Amino acid sequence: MNGAKVELRGLRRNFSGTAALDGLDLTIESGELIALLGPSGCGKTTALRCVAGFEQPDEGTVLVDGKDITRVPANKRDAGMVFQSYSLFPNLNIRDNVAFGLRVRKVPAAKRHARAQELLELIGLPHIGGRFPHQLSGGQQQRVALARALALEPRVLLLDEPLSALDAKVRVSLREEIRRLQLSLGITTIFVTHDQEEALSMADRVAVLRAGRLEQVADPATLYDRPATPFVAEFVGTMNRVPGRIDGNQVAVLGQTLPVDGDLPGTPDVDVLIRPEAVRLTPDAEAEGMVLVSSFRGSTAQLRVQLGDIEVLADVPGHDSVRLAPGTRVRIELVERPVLVSASSGATAASAKTPVPEHDVV
């Protein structure tokens, strides 16, 4: 089984006046696992459904290995799909679920059952062939759905938030398993998720979507360290917005001067985007900053520090959380490296008070 190259060219799709896809261009290389990441309504699922054939784009084309499949019906496409949840046929046992596609293709019973068994062994559940879906846990059901999607040896695998309904521990183990399978089969995979951690940990490349357009596509490290736009910077990981002032190619922020990365906005007053791990804290009874809240996360602790009328998030090693307990006066220092800036969002102080994207609030 080798993966196909998938190209999305200028995809547009409107739902009653709202553009779900607004000219999306994206190329997924053969054998690659790409994550489509974005907030809800950004068009990531619509893009996936266009590849599966469940949505027809109003404009644009979907190419698989250079062949235009935009108008090919869903049941004639060479792509296996895993849905969010509850997609196993409830009236068929696990073996028949996995072998469904083979049954539709009139493969003899003995042959398709052997193939189903092979797939159940591949997903580590060889003994459940005779059970019905409702007798399985959520994680097991999604594994079976994966086996079913792979049964016809498709050249493209489509995953539509397959882990979102599972609990945290199962989610982590299953995403590792999906990645392991994907690498061993070399199947081109498009993975839709709104969970940045999932995207960063699994994908070869992550495509961040916003309002139906591609914001940036890059490998996880680049996406995190060198986000192309303020939107990507704030959506991927946690980001502080701290008021600063442009001075030539540099920006003055919190008493330091740092080089600016990327475009300079027209106005001198800007918001400087700083990762919590780039904020260093030192206890100092004379300093202005004060630790307000400390969220211990094991290896790290995230501290919320009041500095004048703004708040800054800082990630520190877990063992430092004791000496940086709430109420401690601290000096703030930023790691010397290029920073992204965006046009000041007006009432700077007010906006800086909510530096965390909504989904990541502790």
Partner 1 sequence: MSAPSAVRTASASGGRRTKSKSWLATVPLLAFVALIFGVPLVIILGGTFKRDGAFSAANITESVQGAYLTAMIGSVKLSALVAVVGALLGTFLAQAVVTSRFRLLREAVLTASGVLSNFGGIPLAFAWIATLGNSGVITKALGLDSAGWSLYNFWGLALVYLYFSIPLMVVVVVPALDGLRQQWREAAQNNGANTWQYWRHVGIPVLTPTLLGGVVLLFGGAFAAYATAAAMVGGTVPLVTLQIANALSGNVLIGHENVALALSLDMIIIAGLVMAVYLPLQRRSARWLR
Residues that bind partner 1 (CB under 8 A): 52-54, 73-77, 79-81, 83-93, 100-101, 103-105, 132, 134, 145, 148-149, 151-152
CA of 77: how far to CAs of 64, 128, 158, in Å? 10, 29, 12
Which ranges of 125-272 does DSSP label H, i.e. alpha helix?
138-150, 168-185, 196-202, 220-225, 230-235
Take residue 194 and report the two structure tokens written for it: 């709104």
Instruction: Supply the minimum distance, in Å, between the C-beta of residue 89 and partner 1.
Output: 5
Which of 135/295 has CB closer to partner 1? 135
Helix (H) or strand (E) holding 214: strand 213-218
Give the type of residue at 282. T
Nearer to partner 1, 107 or 211 (CB): 107
The least CB distance from residue 1 to partner 1, in Å, is: 17
Query: CA-CA distance, 117 to 93, in Å (whole number)?
Result: 12
Q: Which is nearer to partner 1, 17 or 73 (CB)?
A: 73
What is the residue-wise DSSP string for 223-249?
HHHS-SSHHHHHHSS--EEEEEEEETT
Instruction: Provide, rounded to whole angstroms, the least separation between the CB of residue 152 and partner 1.
Output: 7
The identity of residue 45, as a single letter, is T
Q: Give min distance, CB of 137 to partner 1, in A.
A: 17
Least Cα distance to 302 among 290, 293, 270 occurs for: 293
Q: Which is nearer to partner 1, 142 or 240 (CB)?
A: 142
Q: CB of residue 288 vs partner 1: minimum separation in angstroms?
A: 51
Q: Is the Cβ–Cβ distance between 216 and 26 less than 8 Å?
A: no
* Separation CA 331–CA 206 (nearest Å): 36
Name the residue nearer to partner 1 (CB basis): 4 or 236.
4
Q: Which of residues 91 and 249 has its CB atom nearest to partner 1 in the complex?
A: 91
Degrees, nearest 5: CA angle 225-231-232: 35
Least distance from partner 1 to the Cβ atom of residue 88, Å: 8
Nearer to partner 1, 88 or 330 (CB): 88
User: Cβ of residue 40: shortest distance to partner 1, in angstroms?
Assistant: 18
Say how far apart CA 200 and CA 221 lie, in whole Å. 8
